[in-house]
A and B are shown apart, each in its own frame.
Chain A
Amino acid sequence: MPGICHYPNYQQKKGALMYITGIGKTKFGILRQGLPELCYEAMQKALKDANASIEDIEAIFVSNFLAGSAQSQLHINSLIASLLPGIDIPIIRIETACASSGAALHQAIISLSKYKNVMVLGAEKMSGVGMKEMTSCIAEAGDRMLDQKEGVIFPASYALIAQQHMLRYGTTVDDLALISLKAHKNANLNELAHFAYKTVTRDMINNSPIVSTPLRLFDCSPISDGAAALIISREKKDGRSIKILASALRTGTISLAQRKDITSFPAAKAAAEEAYAQAGMTPDKIDIAEVHDCFTIAELVAIEDLGFCALGESKGWIRQGKTSLTGQLPINTGGGLKANGHPIGATGASQVCEIVTQLRREAGARQVKKADIGLTHNVGGVGGTVAVHIFRRE
């Protein structure tokens, strides 16, 4: 009975409802603002979107991955308090690598047994740090001995996953290129995306430098700054409120070396199964999904782990265009981590912003026609943490 043991008592009461009542997202990209300014902008936008006051918020779950290593800034929760003079509500920082804001949302939902309105705030400032330093900072999400000491930076881990996926299922580098192309095409329709301005062609992808064989530059998400905030409420506010049907968080080993099989993430499968059980539905009921494509191969693994298709069959989905804006199950309509950007601590919350925007029918040029039920899939490391959430338009 996974839906019960992982959920607050509150959920068990019949008719208990939870909603996303406000979303706010800064531009993603190489930005002028520092971490506090990014946080402030996202919070302000979310409050305006919810037509709420900061004084309505009873707790904040702030997620950030590497301000300690890259910005020499820890004690982030108190930093957020400083942005809100006179406010002394509980604020807690959640860090689960790239799944930080997915995990923060999970915690926020659990906290609704106590509070009426809480905020999730994800933020990351990644630019302004040397590439070598930043690569090492991100590598801190891997095991110190098993990964970091052996030079297993994140592109290397996902490159090994890609190679195994190719050997086992016949996936090709062309399939990866299709994912990158789709991501950039969607981002061109999303003015807040990191690569909103950039037209990417097949040639650009094929001629881009090799990062870690077989992955090229265009297989990797960028270094982005950005923040995203969500307001989570016990009560429905208005027609724009989006219902939360499921929230599942699972963990797995930190290193690929500690698994027997690396072409699928057990924690992702478990989180997905639990989320579907909570929502009382099967994967085919999902209309749109934002999945964690930190590398193109990760989108293929996600499609399989989430049960949209059988293991090894995701390549067919990509080739047939099933995940494009007009496909059977549009995936990463906002551009994904690849092209919307991946300010690590903000990514999970940003995925929710995209799903909520789509479910509200407010996505403009990239609006998906049938968007009633949406799913987010947020991964930390190589599947060491996975948060899956399901939302419904009411």
Chain B
Amino acid sequence: MFTMIKTCGSCKRVYYYDVAECIFCDKELKGSSSGSSIVKGFTEVNVPSLEHETVPYNVMLLQDNDGNLSLRKSSESHIIGERMTGKEGKNERPEKAGAAGRIITAGIIGTGVMSEGIAQIFLERGMKVILVSRTEERLKAAREEIEDALLKGRTIEQQKIVIAGLSTTTRYEDLAAADIVIESIIEDLAAKRECFAKLSEICSPKTLIVTNTSSLSITELSKFVTRPERFAGMHFFNPVPKMALVEVVKGLKTAEDAIKEIVSISKAIGKTPVVLNDTPAFIVNRVMAAYLNEAVLLLEKGVASKEDIDASVRMGLNHPLGPLSLIDLIGVDVFVEIMNNLHRQTGEEKYRPAALAQELAKKGKLGRKSGEGFFVYAK
């Protein structure tokens, strides 16, 4: 997504690749530093392909001050003659990406796989990312993971340009000017309370504070921030760079403006947002929980073997993994916990975790991580 333009000082030939010297003149090539470009043309593409599954999307034909063209994917529509301001003089990048029509700064709290994935997609769309964790070691490890992920399909030069948007810190104070802060730490109420209290103190009143929680109530969590109208759920799916969906969850006090901004940011980072009211487990996990539990209940009733239940879903619904294997992957204990939460929060019998799953969890048969769950795994 980053166009590298190098120009020969002598013959003015333009190269679009990471080469050092002009093959005609042997002169060193200089990176082009045109400040801005205008939209010369655009098309709205309605045909999905493997790397661009979500349609429609726009492709813009941009022209810089030297007359050089570039092509750029954009989730927003544009008008001919619109001016795009460049960044850092290296690459002209549309600044229209963010909610407020500019490059946004995203604070991300946490250094798990999800946080890294979220950081990666913001960086890939030209955004700035401030990654926060308690320790320098974890930040260093996270940076390395992100660097590796960004190297896929890019040259080192191109990767460097993308990674330049990333900074890491152990100090919440550095998030003061962030446009949005995404909390993605462990699912622990006390830890989250501490995190949101600090953020409320430090962040500007304009900062959106969102949580990537999958199990806690947005309305409940909003009690820990001083501006609940600027607080919402922004639930990503694993692996973040691959999964198109973001659940944007409205708490009771979340303002419509805030939801609009989060939807716009989601689109700007190439995701497809869905907006929903706060409800236990949101949409995806709610449907998934009932479905997984149903598979265990069928097994309990002796309707079919565990292998055949999994095979039915794999081949009949084209899921890559059967439900029982999926529970083993998630962790039988985690599954039971999810069901217990849902059962408690909704009070509905249908969410009571199937006895067989509870029994496995009690026996320490937790799935892949313990070597045995519904199935046995070779160590």
- A contact set with B: CB distance below 8 Å: 131-133, 135-136, 139, 143-153, 155-156, 159-160, 163-164, 167, 209-215, 255-260, 262
Contacts and interface: CB of A to CB of B under 8 A. Distances in A.
Interface in B34-62: 40-53, 57, 59, 61
A147 B16 CA distance: 12
A139 B69 contact: no
B46 A151 contact: no
A256 B71 contact: yes
Interface string B1-25: 1110000000000101000000000
B69 A260 contact: yes
A152 B51 CA distance: 11
A213 B51 CA distance: 20
B192 interface: no
B343 interface: no
Contact of A260 (B53, B67, B158): B67
A135 B1 contact: no
B375 to A, nearest CB: 31
Contacts, number: 107
B153 interface: yes
B41 to A, nearest CB: 5
21 contacts: A131-B48, A132-B49, A132-B50, A136-B50, A145-B2, A146-B71, A149-B51, A149-B73, A150-B1, A150-B72, A151-B52, A152-B59, A152-B73, A153-B49, A156-B59, A163-B42, A256-B69, A257-B16, A257-B69, A258-B16, A262-B61
A159 B44 CA distance: 9
A257 B49 CA distance: 20
The 7 A-B residue pairs with the shortest CB-CB distance, nearest first, are A159-B43, A135-B49, A136-B50, A151-B52, A151-B73, A136-B49, A150-B73
Contacts of A131: 47-48
Nearest to A216: B46
B70 interface: yes
Nearest to B4: A145
Contacts of A209: 46
A103 to B, nearest CB: 23
A146 B61 contact: no
A198 B237 CA distance: 45
B92 to A, nearest CB: 12
Given A132-B49, A133-B50, A255-B16, A213 B70 contact: no
B162 to A, nearest CB: 12
Contact-size category for B: 20 to 34
A255 B4 CA distance: 13
Contact of A213 (B2, B44, B61, B69): B44
B80 interface: yes
A133 B52 CA distance: 11
A257 B68 CA distance: 8
Interface string B244-276: 000000000000000000000000000000000
Contacts of A156: 43, 45, 59
Contact of B71 (A136, A167, A210, A255): A255
B47 A211 contact: yes
Contacts of B14: 258
Contact of A144 (B48, B53, B69, B153): B153
Contact of B46 (A132, A210, A262): A210
A373 B49 CA distance: 41
A132 B43 contact: no
A153 B1 contact: no
A255 B61 CA distance: 12
A214 B45 CA distance: 10
Contacts of A167: 41, 80
Q: A146, A150, A153, A256: which has the most chain B beta carbons within 10 Å? A: A150
Contact of B69 (A151, A214, A262): A262
B44 A256 contact: no
Given A150-B73, A151-B59, A257-B69, A212 B51 contact: no
Contacts of B53: 132
A255 B72 CA distance: 12
A155 B45 contact: yes
Nearest to B44: A213
A135 B48 contact: yes
Contacts of A149: 1, 51, 73, 153
Q: B14, B45, B50, B68: which has the most chain A beta carbons within 10 Å? A: B45
A371 to B, nearest CB: 37
Interface in B53-98: 53, 57, 59, 61, 67-73, 80
Given A151-B52, A153-B52, A160 B16 contact: no
Given A149-B1, A212-B47, 12 more contacts: A135-B47, A136-B51, A145-B154, A147-B71, A152-B73, A159-B45, A163-B43, A211-B45, A211-B46, A212-B45, A257-B70, A262-B69
A146 B73 contact: no
B198 to A, nearest CB: 38
B71 A259 contact: no
Q: B49, B57, B68: which has the most chain A beta carbons within 10 Å? A: B49
A160 B41 contact: yes
Nearest to A259: B69
B56 to A, nearest CB: 9
Q: A136, A145, A163: which has the most chain B beta carbons within 10 Å? A: A145
B59 A146 contact: no
Contacts of A132: 48-50, 53
Q: B14, B40, B57, B69: which has the most chain A beta carbons within 10 Å? A: B69
A255 B16 CA distance: 10
Contact of B61 (A133, A144, A155, A256): A256
